[in-house]
Structure 1
């Protein structure tokens, strides 16, 4: 079966998809992106993801390449052409093509839009055995709330984690506090059964899965606290887990080789994953 990509107004064979050598995303990381999960042919949390794309574009003063309704049509048409039922859809918008210069182009250029899809096995409610994380110093820039394509620190952190046998990297700031994962938000459950995750600020990305999980936790009457937590606190926590559009809710059972709690998947992370998978299957919106 042919695989298609959307590149600047055209649906093209994925093998033939390309962008101009002077695209500012390629040369200067001058662009943003979004990743949306797909389950049973439906986009998960579509509206909040597109809202976040809008915010990222606004923060970098990049114009929309197409209108929101047109983007929605393109997403669904690409899913149809690629017969995507379960997986991911990736959107990237850059400032466009212009002569290389750090400053914005002196004359307006059309933003570039690229969209691709990935088929993935459907995530199940069973979290399995959980995963390990490795910590690393947070060396990213001060505006991690913008979902830019400038991901080299995240790449290095993820690679270090994989080389150590861990699934994810947790970034730690100069004060010993966990900010977030290389591609996930970080959570712990304290000995007092408080569900803790860092508040959204310029230091982390406001995860869409994180937002949905907050609502689900409220419905389950779990005590949620949004505040920073230290690495030392995380290692002494009862439970830990990560969230993202790709990992859903994944329990963390080991941090830097130290077991979290009893080293097994805990009941809170298990229940939250079950509820999140149920939410994805229902196709309902969370406000």
Structure 2
């Protein structure tokens, strides 16, 4: 049985209820995070919590829970859900709360709704490119809002883009802006590899400041054997890349071997992915 947390109470997930006037339901007015735990150990827990706190501040939702108390709450939730398996994801969601009416302006004196639950996640990919599972993608122009750096619960734009890829039999959709520049995936950050160098778009309002992205970049730079560059990446470069990856908390680093029905590089998982994933896997619990 999955145990959830809702507004100070632990209860079975199927018993969790919110008001239909909750602004998270009416407007997508909230912030969320998804945090992986492998064998009870979290990946990037404090960076996830800090990003959530920053997101709440950005949309002016009052946060009364300290970072340390958030950590204790989520660790406790994972412990209470140990029967679901040793590898769990935690979804945590804070909305502005429930008002007595539907009105666009931020209400005053409304308590945020705090909700979290745990769910089983897949085992990590094997650190072996001959055994790992590749992904296929399609690409399309990014039609989402211009504040993608805020991890809002209002994900309809992302959902519609993801559905495009899903309907085409792919695991993700790669997005580019009106200038033909790579932004990210519909539910992930994106990277190319060219001549042994890992290149990823700069962090701006067009992309989510991914925690897995940050761990990848920081761990590769610390290890030093793979050069990493953050800059504008054109779709022409993407189509000429030796390797293409996407990353997220649930995907970790996923190798992409097909884009728009054409092979990426030689159509096989690349050597740089294998080396980078090994470095990331050795470092991921340090964040």
Residue 121 of structure 1 and its aligned partner are, at CA, apart by 2.8
Task: Note the alpha carbon deviations across 1:11-40, whole angstroms, 9 max, x for none.
Answer: 111111111111100001110101111011
Q: What is the rounded CA distance, in whole Å, between the counterparts of 2:9 and 2:238 in structure 1?
A: 47
Q: Contact (CA 8 Å) 1:65, 1:110: kept in 2 or not?
A: no
* Alignment match of 1:247 (pick from 236, 248, 251): 251
Q: What is the rounded CA distance, in whole Å, between the counterparts of 2:5 and 2:27 in structure 1?
A: 22
Corresponding residue number in structure 1 for 2:44: 45
Say whether 1:267 aligns with 2:271: yes
Residue 87 of structure 1 and its aligned partner are, at CA, apart by 2.0
Say whether 1:150 aligns with 2:154: yes
* Alignment match of 2:196 (pick from 193, 198, 202): 193
Corresponding residue number in structure 1 for 2:113: 112
Q: What is the rounded CA distance, in whole Å, between the counterparts of 2:24 and 2:173 in structure 1?
A: 25
Residue 224 of structure 1 and its aligned partner are, at CA, apart by 1.4
Alignment of 1:98-137 (within 5 A): 98=99, 99-105=101-107, 107-124=108-125, 125-126=127-128, 128-137=132-141
Corresponding residue number in structure 2 for 1:277: 281
Q: Secondary structure at the match of 1:229?
A: coil
Say whether 1:89 aligns with 2:90: yes
Residue 65 of structure 1 and its aligned partner are, at CA, apart by 4.6
Task: Note the alpha carbon deviations across 1:190-238, whole angstroms, 9 max, x for none.
Answer: 1x33211001011101111111111222113322111121222111111
Q: What is the rounded CA distance, in whole Å, between the counterparts of 2:211 and 2:68 in structure 1?
A: 20
Q: What is the rounded CA distance, in whole Å, between the counterparts of 1:121 and 1:243 in structure 2?
A: 15
Corresponding residue number in structure 1 for 2:205: 202
Corresponding residue number in structure 1 for 2:218: 215
Give the gaps of 5 or more residues in structure 1. none
Q: Contact (CA 8 Å) 1:65, 1:93: kept in 2 or not?
A: no
Task: Note the alpha carbon deviations across 1:161-211, whole angstroms, 9 max, x for none.
Answer: 011111110111111111000111000011x33211001011101111111
Q: Secondary structure at the match of 2:286?
A: coil
RMSD of aligned C-alpha atoms? 1.3
* Alignment match of 1:226 (pick from 221, 224, 230): 230
Q: How many residues align?
A: 280
TM-score by length of structure 2 reads 0.94
Residue 245 of structure 1 and its aligned partner are, at CA, apart by 0.6
Q: What is the rounded CA distance, in whole Å, between the counterparts of 1:195 and 1:71 in structure 2?
A: 34
Task: Note the alpha carbon deviations across 1:217-264, whole angstroms, 9 max, x for none.
Answer: 211332211112122211111111011111011111111011111000
Q: Contact (CA 8 Å) 1:88, 1:117: kept in 2 or not?
A: yes
TM-score by length of structure 1 reads 0.94
Q: Contact (CA 8 Å) 2:220, 2:279: kept in 1 or not?
A: no
Q: Contact (CA 8 Å) 1:65, 1:112: kept in 2 or not?
A: no
